[in-house]
Structures are given as C-alpha cells and as structure tokens.
Structure 1
Amino acid sequence: MEPNQTKTLSYLQDEDGFARLLDDWGDRLLRLCTLYLKDVHLAEDAVQETLLRAWRKADTFHGKGSETTWITRIAINVCKSYLRSPWKRRRAPAEELDTLFAATDDPQVDDTLPRAILALSRPYREVIILYYYQELKAREIADVLHVDVSTVTARLSRARKMLREALKGWYYDE
C-alpha cells in the first residue's frame, strides 16, 4: 500500500487503523526484524512496537518519502534499540538462530543463503535485507539508513562479493 505522497497517514488512527497496519506490514516487518535481530521472538516484539509507534505517529507522516521508507526506518530504529538494550547483550541467541530455520522439517529447504546473510556484519546485512527482501531501491535504502546512495551501492557490492565468497561450492561453481 503506497498512499498519495502528499497525504498524511492520519486515516490509520481510527479504530481499525492498527489492524490495517498489521495486515499491510506485519509479514514484511517480521522478516526484516527477524533478519536484523537474529531472534524470532524478539523480532515479534519489535514488529509490535514498530506498528504501535507507526499507528500512534501516523499523523506526523507528511509524505516527504514513501510510507515504505518511513515504516522501515521505524522498524530499524526499534531493532537497534533492542540490540543496544542491556537485556539483549546478556542473552545468548545462538539457539534462536537454529529455531529461525527450524520452522519446517522439510529436508528440501536449503538455509545456506539466509545463514550466510546473517553472518555478514550489520552494515552489509542491512543493505542486503533492504534491497533483496524488502525490495527497496538504493535511494530508499539511503533514506532509511541516513547515508549517501554511493555508500549503499558500495555496501551492496561488497556484500555481494562476501556472499559470493561464502557461498563458493554451494551456489557458485568456482
């Protein structure tokens, strides 16, 4: 759902607004937050907080950017705040990473690529997730991350190179 760029999102503040936000953005945000936080349960909390913040602040959106970049920026800020919290730093999420891919017992499912993406450092993981999973353009990613477009394209290039190296023998014949 991409509303008119000059319109606010105040229509989301009625009684059904939160439900509309959840329907429109819930799955995308859950994927984003799970990949960002590497913890399914923490990601669910982050999505709820993101949607609540977006719902409460819908009247402050004035269309300077797209709704996608606005809500993605909120989600990333929530994820960063979760990662900075003392509680998160004391947790050992290694077991959670396994549950992330254990949602299916199908032996046909290959989780090599998602694991390689999660192994990237945060700046590279961010651009890969936003570009390929959230399907944002480089300009939108630059707006979300508050960096130059050239920084985004350089990070994408480096991240692809790192993934190519990490996936040698799996996806690349070298």
Structure 2
Amino acid sequence: MLDERKVIKAMKGNEKAFEDLIHDEKEKLFRMAYLYVKDKEDALDVVQEAVYKAFVSIKHLQEPHYFSTWITKILIRAALDFIKRNNRLNVVPIEGIERLDYGERNIDDRLDIMTAIECLQNPYKTVIILRYYKDLSIKQIGDVLDCPEGTVKAQLHRAISKLKFHLKRSVSSE
C-alpha cells in the first residue's frame, strides 16, 4: 500500500523517501518494462531512465495518492521512447517468460499470448498490459494514458478482439 506521507516527503526533496517509494514499485516497474522491451538489461535501462525522470520531476506531482499511476506513465513513455530509439525486433527468451508469473498457464499458452500481444499496435498493447498485467481499473488506465474512460474501453475491446483473432488464427494453422 502506498504511503502518501513518503510521497509528500519525496515531493519536498527527501531522497530517502523517494528511494523507499521506488523500492516498493521496482518489481512492478521492471515487469512492465520487460513486457515492452523483452530484454532484462534493456528493461533495467528503461526503469533507470524512468526513475531518473521521476526523481527530477516529482516536485510537479499534483496528487500524492497517484504516485504509482504517475510513475507508470513515466515508465510507459520511457519504454516507448526506448523502442523508437532502438527500433529493433526483440525476441522473447523462453526462460524470461518463465520468470514472469502469469498464473497456471503452460509455457505454450504463455508463448501464444505473448506473441499475440506483440502483434498489437502500441495503444492496444499498452491497455492490455495495464489492465491484465498491472491490474489497473479503466479509470486508472485513463489517468495513466491521459484519455477518457470511453477511449480506454474502446481500445481494450479492440485489443481483446485482435488478440482473439490472432490466437484463433494461430490455433487453426497448427
């Protein structure tokens, strides 16, 4: 649970409070970065860049209780910038997928889902990741992406439809 007192201290320049906040968020940030860049070292670079940007701009955070949403937004932008800068295809190593906990699905199902998510365009990929991997509500996703809830719902619906289509197509081609 987020300690708003730590956020307020960090906003006032307390480096230890900021460090504690990042410590609480680091695993979630890494997992999200990894879903975008598919490489451990690159994900660490994205997290580092996002943490730096957050540290420099935390004094501009408007609402302390939105810290997690705010830093997630910074991370998404950093990940997308990283992808644009490097503009390369990333292959997901099987052992990397196994380390990420996706429940009781077997490895083939996880590979199919990850492949299907990779086929999505960035806005659709982002709403799927935020909804099902970060477990954010529609309203929280709207806050992260700076868009209305209706837009989030529409993008989520389209993303799910595209995932279903891709997964049906991959099953029928076997």
TM-score (norm 2): 0.77
1: CA distance between counterparts of 2:45 and 2:160? 30
Higher helix share: 2
1:168 matched to 2:161: no
1:170 to partner: Cα distance: 8.0
Contact 2:116 2:166 in 1 (8 A): yes
Contact 1:30 1:47 in 2 (8 A): yes
Aligned residue among 89, 93, 97 for 2:89: 93
Contact 2:6 2:17 in 1 (8 A): no
Matches within 5 A, 1:102-113: 102-103=95-96, 104=98, 108-110=106-108, 111-113=111-113
Residue 153 of structure 1 aligns with which residue? 153
Residue 44 of structure 2 aligns with which residue? 44
2: CA distance between counterparts of 1:148 and 1:159? 17
Contact 1:2 1:66 in 2 (8 A): no
Matches within 5 A, 1:47-126: 47-63=47-63, 66-85=66-85, 88-89=86-87, 92-94=88-90, 97-99=91-93, 101-103=94-96, 104=98, 108-110=106-108, 111-126=111-126
Q: What's the secondary structure of 1:102's corresponding residue?
A: helix
Amino acid aligned to 2:16: D
Distance 1:54 1:10, change over 3 A: farther
Contact 2:2 2:65 in 1 (8 A): no
Contact 2:37 2:79 in 1 (8 A): yes
CA deviations over 1:82-123 (Å, ceiling 9, x no partner): 2332xx13xx433xx232x33359xx5332212211221111
% identity of equivalent residues: 31
Contact 2:116 2:167 in 1 (8 A): yes
Amino acid aligned to 2:107: V
Contact 1:118 1:125 in 2 (8 A): yes
Cα RMSD (Å):
2.8
TM-score (norm 1): 0.77
2: CA distance between counterparts of 1:79 and 1:49? 9
Amino acid aligned to 1:58: I
Structure 1 unaligned residues grouped into runs of 5+: none
2: CA distance between counterparts of 1:170 and 1:83? 26
Distance 1:2 1:121, change over 3 A: same
Amino acid aligned to 1:102: E
Q: What's the secondary structure of 2:107's corresponding residue?
A: coil
Amino acid aligned to 2:126: E
What is the number of residues matched between the two proteins?
A: 161
Residue 102 of structure 2 aligns with which residue? none
